[in-house]
Amino acid sequence: MILTVTLNTALDITYRVRSLRPHASHRVSDVTERPGGKGLNVARVLAALGHEVTATGFAGGGTGRAVREGLADTPGVLDALLPIGGATRRTVAVVDELTGDTTQLNEPGPQITPAEWGAFQEVYGELLAGASAVALCGSLPPGVPVGAYAGLVRTARTAGVPVLLDTSGEPLRRGVAARPDILKPNAEELAELTGSHDPLRAAQDARRRGAHAVVASLGADGLIAHTPEGRWHAAPPARMDGNPTGAGDSAVAGLLSGLVDRLPWPDRLARAAALSAATVRAPAAGEFDRATYEELVERVAVTAEVTAA
Amino acid sequence: MILTVTLNTALDITYRVRSLRPHASHRVSDVTERPGGKGLNVARVLAALGHEVTATGFAGGGTGRAVREGLADTPGVLDALLPIGGATRRTVAVVDELTGDTTQLNEPGPQITPAEWGAFQEVYGELLAGASAVALCGSLPPGVPVGAYAGLVRTARTAGVPVLLDTSGEPLRRGVAARPDILKPNAEELAELTGSHDPLRAAQDARRRGAHAVVASLGADGLIAHTPEGRWHAAPPARMDGNPTGAGDSAVAGLLSGLVDRLPWPDRLARAAALSAATVRAPAAGEFDRATYEELVERVAVTAEVTAA
């Protein structure tokens, strides 16, 4: 089974309004809710690809109950979330019907107690015993130490389980030093970590900081990978129009799926880039369009990069 | 006991953000939640004034559970909400820290089934037997017939219970024809009902349409009343700066409180205007500042209006 960790799960709410105007009152014409947080998005895509997935992290309060009810309706994802005293955060995406643009409001997340964090680390260790790979995804809720991912990376490496890290800011800086097998930042996170806006140079720097391999998502430009086996650029055959929400999480799912299927790097990258593009194309945010994926996975161009090392 | 009816209860969520910008992503720095919907706001103020209050209407889903937990923490309000299959709506108020302005997002509310609406009407009839007055407040959720308030007004009149109606649009138009004892529109609702932007003329028109008495809230200008006993204008001694959310609901509570205490109209209006102003002054939206209320209730100027009838 593949394990995904989402310490700051969310109830993702999407509102449709005619046009968002600051300081006005708006009638919401349509409301949708689903379990969110990057690791849960990764779990959903992995399950849709046919993998056995276990999702762990924290959930609490009425919003946590809604997240767990949503997970129970997702075939193939085993719910191993730990109950907490606080309430799972909400995110609210307000979609303008006129322009299609989205305004995002993200709650900070519940306060995690030291006892809850301790209990999580114990459960995480037990779950790793049955895992073929683990993904550590997203922000940390208040109360979880900033070095949390560094510790979880080390535990996975000690257990011999390949570990992918996808986070930002200081948790990323600390986490990379613990030597994760794969680091999956986007261009902005990679630039913040390294100070370089040249993705290949920055990926190389991130490897020097500890990551075994770095795969950076560059939006419509696809993915670049900097690994001990080589350097590649994976790009879909055409730019996709649509909603990029969750595209990075689908790339993570593609990388893990290719890893546990023992694919060579170029095939892993094709899978990740095709899933990412098929997510942009799907009508609902964070879902992927299966027909688009199956068509694209054969057509993604993966080219070896030959730049100054 | 005073009965308040809130068919479209809400979980009122308030977010603080630095500055709301359409199409950007925002970190919410502070989240508060409380039971909402106009009738629940009225109930809370009545209880704070020392009245026994029963709150009925609908509640369902995780959001309904949160509303009921909040009510259980409100001393003096008895929860007589009916459970439904759908989920209670949320309202999200986004407060700009830079300007103090608020952007409002209101969900439409759950679909009420004919069986749920039938069950409500039965419970309502039973609750009226113990009520000294009843307030019918706010919007109708989907599935409740547009003539709902007209029917509830008639049932109250048949039971001999004084009934106040505070709603808008077509439910107001239908409701007023059923002859409520008090109609409490704001200036905009009154203009929409009557086509007149002169509040005294419009109030007179609303009485012709069926309301026994009309009290219109005019924001910072206080209240005007058009009743069989006379016409008055009630104004606080100075304009209040603050958040007007819930000021109209506090005015309803003041009117009902004065009614069951058998106060003459000018004293009821002073109570309503003082509570309304004390709500604008309170730090939290929808709460009232007791010291401000106690000071103002002695100082509100209630003057008889002598205009063309």
Q: Which tens digit of pLDDT belongs to each residue from B193-245?
A: 999 999 999 999 999 999 999 999 998 889 999 999 999 999 998 887 777 88
Q: Shortest CA distance to B109 belongs to which of A69, A29, A92, A66?
A: A29
Length of chain A: 309
What are A51's two structure tokens?
């993998």
Mean pLDDT, rounded, of chain A = 94
Amino acid A243: pLDDT: 76
Cβ-in-10-Å burial (0-12, 13-18, 19+) of A196 comes to middle
CA dist., res. B160 & res. B150, Å (int): 15
> Model's pTM, two decimal places?
0.89
Is residue B150 scored above 70 in pLDDT? Answer: yes
Report percent pLDDT > 70 for chain A.
Answer: 98
Q: How many CA atoms, within 13 angstroms, populate the side-chain half-sphere of residue B306?
A: 0
pLDDT at residue B158, as a whole number = 98
Q: How far is Cα A275 from Cα A290, in angstroms, rounded to an integer?
A: 8
Give A31's contacts in chain B (Cβ within 8 Å).
107-108
For chain A, the straight-line distance linking the first and the last C-alpha, in angstroms and rounded, comes to 36
Cβ pair A15:B63 closer than 8 A: no
Instruction: Catalogue all structural domains in chain A, each as residue range(s) with its CATH number.
Output: 2-7+36-79+111-304 (3.40.1190.20)
User: Would you call A28 and B107 a contact, using CB atoms and an 8 Å cutoff?
Assistant: yes
Whether residues B23 and A66 touch (CB distance < 8 A) is answered with no
Task: Look at residue A309 in the predicted model and tell me its pLDDT.
Answer: 46
Please name the residue of chain A whose CA is at the shortest distance from the CA of residue B65. A62
pLDDT tens for each residue of chain A, 309 residues long: 999 999 999 999 999 999 999 999 999 999 999 999 999 999 999 999 999 999 999 999 999 999 999 999 999 999 999 999 999 999 999 999 988 889 999 999 999 999 999 999 999 999 999 999 999 999 999 999 999 999 999 999 999 999 999 999 999 999 999 999 999 999 999 999 999 999 999 999 999 999 999 999 998 889 999 999 999 999 998 887 777 888 999 999 999 999 999 999 999 999 999 999 999 888 776 789 999 999 999 999 999 986 544
Mean per-residue pLDDT, B146-162:
98
Residue B14: CA count within 13 A, CB half-sphere: 18
Which residues make beta-bridge pairs with B16?
Answer: B30, B95
- pLDDT at position A307, please? 56
Find all residues with CB under 8 Å of A37, minimum gap 6, and list them: A6, A8, A9, A10, A57, A137, A138
Rounded alpha-carbon distances, angstroms, from residue B94 to A21, B102, B268: 12, 5, 34
Classify the C-alpha dihedral A257-A259-A265-A267 as positive or negative.
Answer: negative
Can you tell me the distance from the alpha carbon of B276 to that of A68, in angstroms, rounded to the nearest whole number? 42
Instruction: Return mean pLDDT, chain B.
Output: 94
Counting beta carbons within 10 angstroms of the beta carbon of residue B168, is it exposed (0 to 12), middle (13 to 18) or buried (19 or more)?
Answer: middle
Burial class (CB in 10 A: 0-12, 13-18, 19+), B245: buried
The 3-state secondary structure of chain A reads CEEEEECCCEEEEEEEECCCCCCCEEECCEEEEEEECHHHHHHHHHHHCCCCEEEEEEECHHHHHHHHHHHHCCCCEEEEEEECCCCCEEEEEEEECCCCCEEEEECCCCCCCHHHHHHHHHHHHHHHCCCCEEEEECCCCCCCCCCHHHHHHHHHHHCCCCEEEECCHHHHHHHHCCCCCEECCEHHHHHHHHCCCCHHHHHHHHHHCCCCEEEEECHHHCEEEEECCEEEEEECCCCCCCCCCCHHHHHHHHHHHHHHCCCCHHHHHHHHHHHHHHHHHCCCCCCCCHHHHHHHCCCCEEEECCCCC
Instruction: Report the chain B residue with the minimal C-alpha distance to residue A24.
Output: B103
What pLDDT was estimated at residue B237? Answer: 87
Mean pLDDT of B136-148: 97
Q: Which of B13, B99, B106 sits opposite A25 (nearest CB)?
A: B106
Chain A residues bordering chain B (beta-carbon distance below 8 Å) = 13, 15, 17, 20-29, 31, 62-63, 65-66, 90, 92, 94, 96, 99, 101-108
Q: How confident is the model at residue B122 (pLDDT cuts 50, 70, 90)?
A: very high
Cα R_g (chain A), whole angstroms: 19
- Are the Cβ atoms of A23 and B101 closer than 8 angstroms? yes
Tell me the chain A residues in contact with residue B22 when contact means C-beta distances shorter than 8 Å. 20-22, 96, 101, 103
pLDDT tens per residue, range B69-93: 999 999 999 999 999 999 999 999 9
pLDDT bracket for residue B309 (50, 70, 90): very low
Which residue on chain B is closest to A92 by alpha carbon? B92
pLDDT band at B285, cuts 50/70/90?
low
Q: Are strands A301-304 and A230-235 parallel, antiparallel or unpaired?
A: antiparallel
Taking the CA of residue B66 and the nearest CA in chain A, the distance in Å comes to 7
* Whether the Cβ atoms of residue B137 and residue B166 lie closer than 8 Å to each other: yes
Q: How far apart are CA B227 and CA B221, in angstroms?
A: 19
Contact A103 B65 (CB under 8 A): no
Select from B22, B62, B63 the Cβ nearest to the Cβ of A101. B22
Query: Which of B31, B99, B105 has the CB atom closest to A15's CB atom?
Result: B105
Cβ-proximal residues to A285 (8 Å cutoff; 6+ apart), any chain: A14, A93, A243, A245, A246
pLDDT in tens, B165-192: 999 999 999 999 999 999 999 999 999 9
Mean pLDDT for B50-72 is 97
